[in-house]
Structure 1
Amino acid sequence: MTHRTQQPYRGHTARLRRGAAIALFPLAVACGGGEDDAAADRKKVAAVTAAPEAGVVAPAKVEVIAGLTGCTAEIRVEAQELREGQCRTKQGEYRITTFPEERFKVTWLDTAAVYGGKYLVGTRWVVSAPPELLAGFRSRLGGSVEDLGGVGPSASAP
């Protein structure tokens, strides 16, 4: 009498994984960390409508955003938390930063707030450009212009 090893039914394993994922999803959603008001406001900004020219709301790559703004970006930073490309056009110089997760964008914006300035912010991306370029980019990319106040003494302080 020979023993035959029984192979597990493949569909059974897939159902178990899917079931485990469904069971854990409510826990992942319910266990979000506390956020300050600024971080919560930035998450609201992520829920913006698409611009007519962009035609999508999905997070984009640096190269896609650069193409929509009329440049070919030179990738300056390629990291796990972000990608950053620099554009140089007749209009001026600007940077496009994309993030693999929204939380990285929120952290980046919190850090950038120290320096102040205006930024065009979308779903997992930020464009850092002179203020006069942001309105034109917004019509092509969507997003919203955020004015980050900055900290420290102002230029008009004695």
Structure 2
Amino acid sequence: MSDAEKEALEGVKSSDWLAEEFGVRFRYNSIDNTEANVIVDPEESFGITESVDSLSLHAGSTLAIMDPDRAKGIAFLPEGLTPEENKWGNAVDQGVYHGGGIDEGPYVAIGKKELGKSAFIGDSSPVEDATPKYRNEEHGGQKRTYDGFIDKDNGQLLSK
């Protein structure tokens, strides 16, 4: 972190706002090139999972449901994953925490608070295309992205 960045963050207090407001917390497990193919039935997801069989995950994370009265997982990783095979190479975290499955936490979750609805996904890759128009902040080179919207059923899920 640069001195300017440290100065900008001076006095900023950490909070768990997302968990407090919406009942979810993003994990830092940095899972790579993995398919989330444990999908809840559309009747349990407001129809969001209709025609969704699998989603791709590239250097993303799972979520922790902190308040099941406000948030619910709708897409999960398969069981039997290992940190050695499913960890993003640049990660400082261990990768898979609990071997995948329901215990790993959802990759996609939905929530409801008062009259509003929310959705959470543990990776930016599903909404990207292959034509980035921004630069990598570390070295200034063109940012590499995935054409994730057309991968697996990502576009189907995101168009709901």
**TM-score, normalised relative to structure 2:** 0.26
| Structure with the bigger percentage of helix | 1
**TM-score, normalised relative to structure 1:** 0.26
Larger Rg: 1
